[in-house]
Structure 1
Amino acid sequence: MNLDILYKLQEQLKYSIITGSSLIREDFRLKKAVDDMAALSKLAPVFAQIETQAKSLFECDNPGERTLDILALVDAVLETQSGVYEKSELSDIEAGSGKNCNYSYKMLEPVLTALTTTGSGRWEVLLNARKQDPRIFFDYRVLPKYIGGLGDSYGELAYQISRWMMEDGKMMIEPLKRGFDPMGKSEMCRRLDIIAYLAKEEENDFYLSIIDGEASKDVRKSAIEALGYSDKNIDILLEIAKTGDKASKEKAISALKSFSDARIDEFFENSAKKKK
């Protein structure tokens, strides 16, 4: 069983939004797409949830707003489940992709727009949302966009989002690791900086995996810096300080200064002698 049924429902929901909510009860194509969900609803709870909510469209008093909510759920599921076809592999909304919060799409729309578009006014929208209810950023429909905001073209906004995530605490670690691309640019550097700030030595294996594999120059520098949280990394940092490129050496030397160890003292003594 593949997800064609869910894609069909997504298509019909979008069509219903275009044609208007007043026609939903007479939309036989949408009704057929909802009926077809019965086959998927037996495979995972999230599909049963979609089917139940979609059926309510034909009975509720506000089908327009409800359609937006269901479409947001369908979009989120397709984003996390795309390419998964076997029953054994199907899951509910995956860990690290957000919580199933009780926010209407009408409440989420300004935040989603601010996180995914450009232009003025976005800062105020996000700041107000943060003040009024910080939990809105953990909704599964918002969280991926919240994380994507770390790569926003407006650097000050991206920086502010990174500060908020540090305030959010360790619950952000897994979402930030999800889909991490070591070859990425500013967003990945900020992700790694937040992970290191929150987890410190607890994610040491993650930092090492970045250094041992292929990584962009800036991401690699952030990973080297993160090695400074554990004295288990002294030998690795010494090796980088001796043989790495200039930028890597600088980060390794800076990290080594966090420790007190005879090996480090010897390294700095030898470095000083070479400069004479």
Structure 2
Amino acid sequence: MEKQRNKSSYFRDVLKKFLAHRLAMAGTVVLVIEVICVILLPYAIKLDPYSMDYMNFGSAPSAQHILGCDDVGRDMFARLIFGGRVSLMVGICSALVSLVIGVPLGLIAGYFRGWAETVIMRCADIFMSFPTMILILVLASVLGQSLTTVTLVIGFLGWTEFARLIYASVLSIREKDYVESARAIGARNKTILLRYVLPNSLAPVIISFTFRTAQAIITESSLSFLGLGVQPPAASWGNILYYAQSISVLSTKLYMWLPAGIALVLTVLSINFMGDGIRDALDSKMKI
């Protein structure tokens, strides 16, 4: 009972610190609004990012198309909303892929040490020695440029960050008294890892997950901007920004790329602010 009260008090303190972090709350509000928009608006106002208005090729914003149309007559507001859905999904799903791969490997390397530590951490060093963007470009070119491929490639190449974080945490936690006591009473390694080691090493992983999500969104946008990410007619903020490669569009048709650029910056900033808020909330030295 006392243990449950302590846990409840800890989570209340964490939540209170997070709610007191103004930038984190501002980021949370922006993200919630974005998620609501990309999920509900397409159904609420019947948005279609694929249909073409043959009378409005490259037209400026109007009452009919509030952000204008692209060069083939597709509504830019519809593409902005659907592009946000794709970019957010790629960011979150690829971060989850990195998490699922990296956390177990980091746990094994840090807890069992020996040959497992040598193999896993040297593999991590090898992965980190390659320029990430170049490796992603090569893999995306070889494996194809579908949404699934981009998500999996970005996620697979990001596992080292989580593995190293968990590994560093587990190295200190495995020597704690409660872990030694669990070993002494004959607890299995699986039980020790899941009940004692993993819960006490998750804080840095949660923080890193937010930053990894923001980084994945930027990576996907960069790939799409270069023509190797999400391919048209599917929309993402990256391939909307592709139009900015033309000097004429860049200087005279801001409505074709500026909203996507603003949405991308706001999203990445909001996720990073949330990560800062979570980090400060989980830091026991921080005062409200």
Q: TM-score, normalising length from structure 2?
A: 0.25
* Higher RCO structure (Cα 8 Å, ≥6 apart): 2
Q: Which has the larger radius of gyration?
A: 1
